[in-house]
Amino acid sequence: MQYNRILLKLSGESLMGEQKYGIDTRCLESYARQIHEIAEMGIQIGIVIGGGNIFRGLSGTNKGFDRVKGDSMGMLATVINSLALSSALDNEGCKNKVLTAIRMEPIGEFYSKACRDTSKKQRASQTLYLKSGHVTIISGGTGNPYFTTDTASSLRAIEIEADAMFKGTRVDGIYTADPEKDPTATKFDKITYDEIYNRGLKVMDLTATTMCKENHLPTQWSGSAAGYL
């Protein structure tokens, strides 16, 4: 199937490579090259990146952080990762734009599909970035606490009217269990959102899964045919 516009969700952990924390520059450069190649094919690309390689808000609550403050820290971590990817794309000569769900100009332009404080001209320009071939990185999650970047990526994919969402993680598809923990886990060639819910698979949070199902948004994992919904 030929896609015109896609939303790529990258987990923060996928940027670590073989490291246990932070950003592996070789991994980052590899992502930038692949994204540039896809963009040169004429496919419009929106990107949402997680922040788990730096700080994950939910896990922070187990260490004494206030949930709202922890989630705010996690949102800032996604901005750091987005700027890093933007820099790597610059080095590849790939046009790109960083948008933020929380106002923090001049770090990034404020993203809003329909916000009272955002002019029609600005909302239109954000779509024009995609149409003009800019890889558009939407950072800061949803801009609200208690929502994961899985939910943010599903929301952004729906808002930009993407043909499909691609989810790049450390695992190459959807399995019956976490293959990094369970060597007996087997991979699905194809699975529905209802099956994900009924089996209790932790591939996305329930909010993201429901949004994708209700808006008929197909999803692929790690850019492979496996996991197509």
108/60 Cα distance (integer angstroms): 26
108/97 Cα distance (integer angstroms): 8
56/227 Cα distance (integer angstroms): 25
Q: Identify the residue with better confidence: 175 or 43.
A: 43
Are the CB atoms for 167 and 219 separated by under 8 Å? Answer: yes
| Residue 121, pLDDT score | 57
In what helix (H) or strand (E) does residue 101 lie, and over which residues does it extend? none
Model confidence band, residue 123 (pLDDT cutoffs 50, 70, 90) = low
Mean pLDDT, the chain, whole residue set:
87
| Residue 227, pLDDT score | 35
| Residue 226, pLDDT score | 33
Q: What is the mean pLDDT of residues 4-19?
A: 92
| Residue 26, pLDDT score | 94
Model confidence band, residue 45 (pLDDT cutoffs 50, 70, 90) = very high
136/94 Cα distance (integer angstroms): 11
Query: In the predicted model, is pLDDT for residue 58 greater than 90?
Result: no
| Residue 174, pLDDT score | 83
50/152 Cα distance (integer angstroms): 9
